[in-house]
Structure 1
Amino acid sequence: MYSKIIGTGSYLPAQRVTNEELAAQLAAKGIETSDEWIVSRSGISARHYAAPDQMSSDLAVEAAKKALEMAGMQPGEIDLVIVASSTPDFHGSFPSTACIVQRKLGMHNNSAAFDVQAVCSGFVYAVATADAFIKAGVHKNVLVIGAEVFSRILNFEDRTTCVLFGDGAGAIVMSASTEPGVLSTKMHADGRYADILSIPGSLAGGAIAGSAFLYMDGQAVFKLAVTVLEQVANEVLADAGMTASQIDWLIPHQANIRIMKSTARKLDLPIEKMVVTVDQHGNTSAASVPLALDRAVRDGRVKAGDNVMLEAVGGGFTWGAVLFKM
């Protein structure tokens, strides 16, 4: 028994903000940046921001509808919903954003639903979890979503972070299949590096103790990311009995083009085999991998039978990879 991806979908909020527009907004606050500065350090040219009344679940539902449509399925046929998000609708994911998505899709009580929190690695963790449930025979059709409204946790007085992130959602439908689908998954975490990417605040007495804004030690994250992404890519390849030359498409977390290109080089993969969308929507955390996957499926690059590798790193520190046949 395999789990197979049979539908993909994505959604970006209507408000698109270019580097020039963001630089002008920051200049009004006395903060200097530019399109050249942002592009040279990250590869990002634009990002999308959710409207004030849009929550992660709203973005997730739009992406889910498209994935279900591609899969030719109705919401009632899904028996598990997993949402990866660091920006849930409610504090502490209580109730879970997955339950809110279930309600908004009209699925009521016909499926289980829960959230996964592994920051930018969340979608990869969620896919690995869905794969395990399907292969164990516990669930048959799983809706896996990465959805974020990171604009809500950005400090727009910190140019080193506020220019990097955006909002969006991506979704896939995974179903039980006798044909090869997911070939290998690997998940890792190392809590010793919890402080290099975090929101260092907690809820106490109805108020935030500490900071509610995202904090990132960029150099530390970069150094760790380029190391672990190569390692986990080789792990899933070895587990599947494959080599990097057999990868048709590499879809890494869309955080920084320099990290992404470094991973491709270490795997000896041509840059042309890597899906890049970071330039158009920035780092959308758990949404970035499914957004890029859906883009590549819909524009015809990723086709049935292709070997695809997904990989991501995130706060925690977490990282993981998924190797599958489309």
Structure 2
Amino acid sequence: MSKVVSGPLRLPADRNAVIAGVGAWLPPNVVTNHDLAARLDTDDTWIRTRTGIAQRHIAGPGIATSDLAVEAGLRALKSAGDTPVDAVVVATTTPDRPCPATAPEVAARLGFRGVLAFDVSAVCTGFLYGLATAAGLIAAGTAQQVLLIGAETFSTIVNPEDRTTAVIFADGAGAVVLRAGTRDESGAIGPIVLGSDGGLSDLIQVPAGGSRQRSSPRSPMAGEEYFVMRGRETYRQAVERMTSSGEQAVEAAGWRMDDVDRLVAHQANARILDTVAGRLGIEAERRVSNIEHVGNTAAASIPLLLAEAAASGCIVPGHRILMTAFGGGLTWGAATAVWPDLDVLPAT
């Protein structure tokens, strides 16, 4: 019998993670629905109706996840006043190499050699898992300031001939700088809710390439090196988990759902976003979304959206933010924050 345990992570009142900067980067290569329709059995109407996506950014040849992470990191650091950090955490499903982690190289390229640096892998929930990890480092006194980056080149693991995934997933990076502060400051991270259910790990996976496949005497079948997901069951799980974790995070923060000024949900697809917002009782004017022009960027989704919404004025200082996400693992999570006053650079 399986038991799911999910509760809020509460940080000490005298030492809390506070958002000090935010930034994002999108590779310049834009792929529209019409571009995809030219090689896939689909069209613009089919893609928009099912996903809400009109275009996405795809990294060009030779561009790796670390390249996107460095660009987003530079912008977040600039937003924070070019303050130095003593830890770099990269949330990604698409590291540059299976070994070593991508974060140490990103840290070195940003000029932070010798600092604590590691990757977090929780697919589309990666940023929120990274947020909890970074907040924990600050609460424990291990770090004073942390650069947390969500970065993906998902196009490298998606089958370009599979219209069910190729039209959805895309590339990009978003980052935040977190500093040590107190819970009552603007920008303070509220309670964080996280959960997982590995009994459903086959819903979202890349079957080949890991020790499970490599230790098997069977050679991988054609296409097993690509990302696959079981859409209908994934939809049901995503709606349930994003909704429930969002409710838990709001309650743990001492808010009511009416107190939430902006819902910043992982940009999975438009149908999931609409259903989750409806179940939470958050109407359209309190939601922010960029899925139409960036697609699903997995672990980069939430920080990229935060940066774009802050730059455009959709999120302003004092807004109460609810973040929620769902990804492979299965993993899910939610967190709250009151948005601070920041300088934000455009994502491109």
Q: Which amino acid aligns with 1:64?
A: G
| 1:127 equivalent in alignment to 2:131 | yes
- Which whole-Å deviations, capped at 9, do the CAs of 1:193-226 have from their partners, x for residues lacking one? 1001100113538x98451100110101001111
Pick one of 202, 211, 215 that aligns with 1:195: 202
Residue 326 of structure 2 is aligned to residue 322 of structure 1: no
Count of equivalent residues: 315
Return the alpha-carbon distance in structure 2 between the equivalents of residues 159 and 55 of structure 1: 23
CA contact (8 A) 1:201 1:208 kept: no
CA distance in 2, matches of 1:274, 1:146: 21
- Which of residues 278, 288, 304 is equivalent to 2:291? 278
CA distance in 1, matches of 2:324, 2:29: 28
Counterpart amino acid of residue 186 in structure 1: V
Match of 1:136 in 2: 140
Partner of residue 9, structure 1: 23
In the TM superposition, residue 136 of structure 1 has moved relative to its aligned partner by: 2.2
3-state DSSP class of the match of 1:201?
Answer: coil
1:41 maps onto 2:50 in alignment: yes
TM-score, reference length from structure 2 = 0.88
* Aligned residues of 1:202 and 1:208 also touching (Cα < 8 A): no
The residue type equivalent to 2:263 in the other structure is L
Shift of 1:184: 1.0
| 1:224 matches 2:245 | no
Q: Does 1:183 align with 2:183?
A: no
Equivalent position to 1:87, from 73, 82, 94: 94
Residues 250, 322 of structure 2: 8 Å contact kept: no
Distance (whole Å) between structure 1 residues aligned to residue 281 and residue 196 of structure 2: 25
Q: Structure 1 66/208 Cα, relative in aligned 2: closer, same or farther at 3 Å?
A: farther
Whole-Å separation in 2 of the counterparts to 1:150 and 1:162: 9
Q: State the Cα deviation string for residues 21-65 of structure 1 (Å, max 9, x = none).
A: 1111x2xxxx31001000000100000110111110000000010
Does residue 52 of structure 2 align to residue 52 of structure 1?
no
Question: Which residue identity is paired with 1:51?
Answer: G
Query: Does the alignment pair 1:303 with 2:306?
Result: no
Letter in 2 for 1:87: T
Q: Which residue is equivalent to 1:239? A: 252
Task: Determine the C-alpha separation between the residues in 1 that align with 2:277 and 2:107.
Answer: 37
* Percent identical: 41
What RMSD over aligned residues (CA atoms) do the two structures have, in Å? Answer: 1.4
Q: With structure 1 as the length reference, what TM-score do the two structures score?
A: 0.94
- Asked whether the 8 Å contact 1:130–1:142 carries over to 2, the reply is yes
Question: Is 296-305 or 2-11 further displaced after alignment?
Answer: 296-305
Query: Is the CA contact 1:44–1:279 (under 8 Å) kept in the aligned structure 2?
Result: yes
Displacement over 6 Å in runs of 4+: none
Aligned counterpart for 2:104 among listed residues 70, 81, 99? 99
Unaligned runs of 5+ in 2: 1-14, 340-348
Displacement, 1:177?
A: 1.2
1:148 aligns with 2:161: no
Provide the secondary structure at the position in 2 that maps to 1:311: strand
**Larger fraction in helix:** 1
Name the one with the larger strand percent: 1
Distance in structure 1 (CA, Å) of the matches to 2:323 and 2:42: 32
- Match in the other structure for 1:115: 119
